Amino acid sequence: MSAKTPHPQHPPSQWVRRFAPLIPKAGGGKTWVLDLACGGGRHTRHLLELGHKVLAVDRDVGGLADLEPGPDLEILEIDLEDGGPWPLGERRFHGVVVTNYLHRPLFPALLAAIDEGGVLIYETFARGNERHHRPRNPDFLLNSGELLELVGAAFHIVAFEQGVVERPRPAVVQRICAVKQPAGGEDGAGPHPLAPGS
């Protein structure tokens, strides 16, 4: 990270803070984590502090101007909704973090990009949020239980929640933490560790 003027940040999501410690580190070393639709980079910064390498992706990466790309940080300015193919090719990640973003066509490629044993941490708005504030368009609001359906049997569900939150402002959210199972399903897959404070 650069020593440039710090970018003003909201704190990391409590959901991400809770489950990011589950993202594996290969042999104790640094592993790549994808921060998809990274916005101002609050989770990119948190993941870097936890000792991961981070690929931060968004269509506008101006909020990361104070961060300097290097061996542990890659920043890509990509429009994820232009109808083109998955822009990250065959790259695989030990963790994927997505918050406050939903573009359903990305899900198959996003889930395929997670290594076996890798962790998906996803949190965004759900139906009912239209009563509070944006987004109100159902294209950007999850249906009841939709994250569970999208993740499917290839993942072990560590935690799932949906409902109303009051902070940082009232909203209806849905969130999941899931670990990708070895090929062939859950046979032989032992229990996964829970996050600290669970």
| Per-residue pLDDT tens over the stretch 101-128 | 989 999 999 999 999 999 999 999 877 5
| Per-residue pLDDT tens over the stretch 62-91 | 999 999 999 999 999 999 999 889 999 999
Q: Is the pLDDT of residue 157 over 50?
A: yes
**Cα distances (Å, whole numbers) of residue 95 to 16, 25, 84, 91, 122:** 11, 10, 23, 12, 11
| Per-residue pLDDT tens over the stretch 8-51 | 568 899 999 999 999 998 766 788 999 999 999 999 999 999 99
Please report, as a single letter, which amino acid is at residue 90. Answer: E
Query: For 9, phi and psi rounded to 5 degrees?
Result: -135, 145
Q: Is the pLDDT of residue 5 over 70?
A: no
| DSSP H helical ranges for 9-145 | 14-19, 42-49, 107-112
pTM for the whole structure: 0.86
Token pair listed for 197: 């404070």
Residue spans of the domains in the chain: they are: 14-19+29-152
User: CATH 3.40.50.150: does it fit domain 14-19+29-152?
Assistant: yes
